[in-house]
Chain A
Amino acid sequence: MTDKGSADAVEIERIVDAPAALVWQMWTDPEHFKAWYGPDGATIPVAKMDVRVGGTRLVCMEVQTPNGPMRMWFTGEYREVVENERLIYTESISDENGHVPAPSDMGMPEGHPTTTEVRVELRDIGGRTKMVMTHVGIPHDSPGAAGWAMALGKLTAYIAAYSDR
């Protein structure tokens, strides 16, 4: 098991049978990205990616429902772009113009994390690539993130102790 457990993040490590430069394109070239990102039975009709720090992304996922196709939009911003090595971007549910609704508009209380962060790290290992993807529920540079991390760390330890009882 190479997956690290954390209260607010999913980390997945994979060895991909392709050079890092090609795996990088899987994430940053819209045509490649569209080919694998959507769940089975879904398509990615739109993937706009301005891959540079501060650049925005807009992705549309279309799924078939009994009532016809349903489109979901996601927007975000690139935080770190180191070609073939490291990519960090945020992701929020949006409309087709990339407008992110306030938590209250979606019927959620203030403070609900509506933005998540995806980090991809690639390392060449002789023609193959070690890929580590971390999807964080609470972006670490958001206000109060340090407090969150601390509180969750302590509380996770507590939960572990509690579960043993």
Chain B
Amino acid sequence: MTATIDEDRLSETFAALANSTRRAILARLAEGGATVNELAEPFEMTLPAISKHIKVLERAGLVVRGQRAQYRPCALDPAPLEEVSAWAERYRPVWEARFDRMDDYLKQIQATKGR
């Protein structure tokens, strides 16, 4: 997991994930690599439309494509998702520090109340 988070890349990951077709494609790829034709199968969409979604996922770094000339199978790259997870995690130290201050403050006011 990276220590610093690339904000632009994170935005791109979130934008790429904010679409149900693209999430379905990722879920399919989580089970294994597939060609564009295979990925298009469950959708009532044209191949160019599916290709467009795959390009978005590729730009976000979520999908990598093989170099084999005709088929260029797609595979999932989970690295950007690890950054999504890190995004949530970086709030943890912020909250921990806040709650430490809440503890101190509570001690203070409960002491002055002379409970």
Contacts and interface: CB of A to CB of B under 8 A. Distances in A.
A159 B99 CA distance: 31
A40 B85 contact: no
Contacts of B20: 144, 147
Interface residues of A, number: 44
A133 B95 contact: yes
A140 to B, nearest CB: 14
Contacts of B96: 12
Contacts of A157: 30
B62 to A, nearest CB: 9
B88 A10 contact: yes
A26 B102 contact: yes
Contacts of B94: 39
Q: How large is the interface on B (under 10, 10 to 19, 20 to 34, 35 or more residues)?
A: 35 or more
Given A110-B15, A112-B14, A16 B103 contact: yes
A133 B98 CA distance: 12
A148 B98 contact: no
A16 B102 contact: yes
B18 A144 contact: yes
A7 B106 contact: no
A120 to B, nearest CB: 11
A83 interface: no
A148 B107 CA distance: 41
Contact of A36 (B23, B27, B101): B101
Interface in B65-115: 76, 78, 81-82, 84-85, 87-89, 91-92, 94-99, 101-107, 109-110
B50 to A, nearest CB: 17
Interface of B: 11-12, 14-15, 17-20, 23, 26-27, 30, 76, 78, 81-82, 84-85, 87-89, 91-92, 94-99, 101-107, 109-110
Interface of A: 3, 5-10, 12, 14, 16-18, 22-23, 26, 32, 35-37, 39-40, 108-113, 131, 133, 135, 137, 144, 147-148, 150-152, 154-159, 162
29 contacts: A5-B85, A10-B89, A10-B92, A12-B92, A12-B96, A16-B99, A16-B102, A16-B106, A17-B107, A23-B106, A35-B105, A39-B94, A40-B101, A109-B11, A110-B18, A112-B11, A131-B99, A144-B20, A147-B23, A150-B23, A151-B27, A152-B81, A155-B26, A155-B27, A155-B81, A157-B30, A158-B76, A159-B78, A159-B82
